[in-house]
Amino acid sequence: MVDTITNNISRSNSHDRVVLFLEYDGARYHGYQMQNESIPTIQMSLENALHNLTSLPLRVTAASRTDRGVNAFGQVVSFEHKSNLNLFTYQGGMNHHLPKDIVVNKAFWSPPNFHVRNSAISRTYRYSIINRKSRPAIDRDRAAHVAFPLNFELMAEAIEFIRGFIDVRPFTGNWVEDDDPYRRFDKVCISNDLDIITVEMEASAFVMHQIRRMMGALVKVGLEEISVAEFRELLINGAPGEATWMMPPEGLCLINVKYEGFPPEIGKNQYAKI
């Protein structure tokens, strides 16, 4: 049974866009963004499924373009509504045509003036580390492995400095000079459960490799290869691209994309005409 409320459905062509909430295992994909037909990406799989369902060449826009190997529990995408299909059919039909490692969990009509990327208030990512001598088997594609012991207390102390508006250029590669380098960090937390260390970051937006480089610096703190003070100095005064220690992609997962008033909390799409 699809997870879309009946009152959310309309065959009216007044709806110009469809919004889908997805989850996917990114292990066998070269990231979200389309590259070419010989390279598997999430976007290519979505657009192929849409074409098989509608026979239309529809383009899909994502709220966050995840990197190669990165997973998603709460990705959000949208596309133009040019057919007479309802939301039940979009969701069920997409899941029929999609590979098993990508699934549509919810479908909504787009609110007026809504843009799946630009309307987002924040994104939340989770990074997971298995910290033990032996490599993981079951979670090898869902967590990074660090074989040497990490000092959790030092990592927790360092992460407290990731607050408010931060210049993220030390944690990126190439930078376009006209882009605003500051990102608003709303929530950053770290937890430790047995041999799993988890970090969650909620921010206004992220740039390519930023979280993996931040995690690399935090792991350096945990390994006691750099001090908490050095980590703080890197955050405040680091040179562009200075944090070159990048953790692997499999530990990273997009958890949530937050919007104001969307999707409707009661489960009914208030923008659909009944």
**Are residue 245 and residue 128 in the same domain, yes or no?**
yes
Would you say residue 265 lies in a domain?
no
Is the domain of 106 the same as that of 163? Answer: no
Assess if residue 187 is contained within a domain: yes
Q: Give the domain-ending residue among 58, 87, 119.
A: 119
Number of structural domains the chain divides into: 2
Measure the CA–CA gap between 150 and 198, rounded to whole angstroms: 12
H-only helix segments in 55-187: 87-97, 152-159
Gap between the Cα atoms of 69 and 247, Å rounded: 12
What is the biggest distance separating any 2 CA atoms in the chain, rounded to whole angstroms?
61
Kindly state whether residues 111 and 159 are assigned to the same domain: no
Which residues, listed in sequence order, are joined to residue 106 by a DSSP beta bridge?
A: 21
Q: In the prediction, which pLDDT does 265 show?
A: 67
Examine the fold and report which residue of 73, 94, 119 is the final residue of a domain before the chain moves on. 119
Report how far apart, in Å, the C-alpha atoms of 183 and of each of 171, 202, 260 are. Answer: 12, 10, 18
Q: Is residue 224 situated within a structural domain?
A: yes
Spell out the per-residue pLDDT of the chain, length 274, in tens. Answer: 334 433 343 333 458 999 999 999 999 999 999 988 889 999 999 999 999 999 999 999 999 999 999 999 999 999 999 999 999 999 999 999 999 999 999 999 999 999 999 999 999 999 999 999 999 999 888 999 999 999 999 999 999 999 999 999 999 987 777 788 999 999 999 999 999 999 999 999 999 899 999 999 999 999 999 999 999 999 999 999 999 999 999 999 999 999 999 998 655 555 555 4
Verify that 213 and 127 share a domain, yes or no: yes
Q: Is the pTM of this model over 0.75?
A: yes
In the three-class reduction of DSSP (H, G, I as helix; E, B as strand; rest coil), residue 142 is classed as: coil
Residue 173 and residue 216 share a domain: yes
Let me know whether 146 and 108 are in one domain. no
93, 144, 260 from 150: Cα distances, Å: 46, 13, 38
List b or e across 212-234, with b for residues whose CB sees 16 or more CB atoms inside 10 angstroms: bbbbbbbbbbbeeebebeebbeb
Give the CATH number of the domain where residue 57 resides: 3.30.70.580
100-125 pLDDT per residue, tens: 999 999 999 999 999 999 999 999 99
The C-alpha R_g of the chain, in whole angstroms, comes to 20
Same domain, 52 and 131: no
Q: With respect to residue 266, please indicate whether it lies within any of the assigned structural domains.
A: no
- Rounded to whole angstroms, the Cα distance separating 77 from 157 reads 36
Q: Output the pLDDT for position 8.
A: 41
Q: Which sign, positive or negative, has the C-alpha torsion 160, 164, 165, 168?
A: positive
Do residues 168 and 131 share a domain?
yes
Same domain, 250 and 182: yes
Residue 249 has a pLDDT of 94
| Domain contains 262 | no
Known catalytic residue: 67?
A: yes
Q: Give the separation between CA 16 and CA 80, rounded to whole angstroms.
A: 6
Rama region for 209: left / alpha / beta (φ>0; ψ in -120 to 50; rest): left
Quick one: 78 and 27 in the same domain? yes
In a domain, 48, yes or no: yes
Q: What are the angstrom distances between the C-alpha of 174 and each of 36, 181, 258?
A: 23, 12, 27
Active-site residue, selected from the candidate residues 3, 25, 67, 141: 67
Give the domain CATH number at 193. 3.30.70.660
Half-sphere exposure of 150 (CA within 13 A, CB side): 28
Let me know whether 132 and 234 are in one domain: yes
Both 107 and 132 in one domain: the answer is no
- Structural domain containing residue 248: 122-254
Which residue bears the tokens 């963004």? 33
Q: Which of 79, 100, 119 is the last residue of a domain?
A: 119
Tell me which DSSP letter residue 110 carries: P
Identify the bridge partners of residue 104 per DSSP, sorted by sequence position. Answer: 22
* pLDDT, position 10: 38
Q: Is residue 106 part of a domain?
A: yes
pLDDT of residue 238: 94
